[in-house]
Amino acid sequence: MTRIIADISVSLDGFVTGPDPGPANGLGTGGEALHTWAFSDDPEDRRLLREATDRSGAVVLGRRLFDLVDGPNGWDDETGYGAGVVGKPAFVVVTSSPPGSVRLGDLDWTFVTTGLADAVSAARDRAEAASASSGKDLDVVLMGGGELIRSALDAGLVDTLSLHLAPVVLGAGTPLLVDAVPRALVQQSVIATSTATHLTYEVL
């Protein structure tokens, strides 16, 4: 069964970027520490990354995040989604206006201009098609940014929340759950590694 999984790294004080994020500084000041686990040699970190990306049938992201990953300092063969770990899933971008061109033209991009719910629905269709083709269950991953994930949680679009809690206090930046709609969660797993604490919750 295809699940909708919100997956994001967050600081101990609840930020998904450091202060002053922007086109040339996507994660903000100090924000690189949030993703140390994704580049770690810790075997458990590697396993979690491999298993998560291996189940990704489609990935949803917002326009600001797309502009960062498709920008000149963005993804490449070594730093893209699941780079060196799995194949490349379909990517669905929520935007009011599709870009005129795409640098990462070898990736499968879909731009949805009719809102987040339609983007998640389109991603589910892509993931279910990929599941049928591969013969295994694949999920939709909401990779961010923070506002997209908060909006998806508020709208009841998320089945599973996966947080990678980095051992850093950023003090400011982009908050994840500020002013979020109250919602009950059920803890599914807690895995501590040398670089992060990986938390998984079922969203009720």
Q: Which tens digit of pLDDT belongs to each residue from 92-105?
A: 999 999 999 999 88
Domains, the chain: 4-203 (3.40.430.10)
Q: Which tens digit of pLDDT belongs to each residue from 56-106?
A: 999 999 999 999 999 988 888 777 775 555 458 999 999 999 999 999 888
Mean pLDDT, the chain, rounded, equals: 93
Q: Which tens digit of pLDDT belongs to each residue from 106-156?
A: 889 999 999 999 999 999 999 999 999 999 999 999 999 999 999 999 999
Pairing state between β 56-62 and 90-94: parallel
Report yes or no: 2 and 124 within 8 Å, Cβ to Cβ. Answer: yes
Report yes or no: 21 and 64 within 8 Å, Cβ to Cβ. Answer: no
Residue among 123, 6, 16, 25 at smallest CA distance from 71: 25
Any idea which residue has 């993804």 for tokens?
75
pTM over 0.85, yes/no: yes
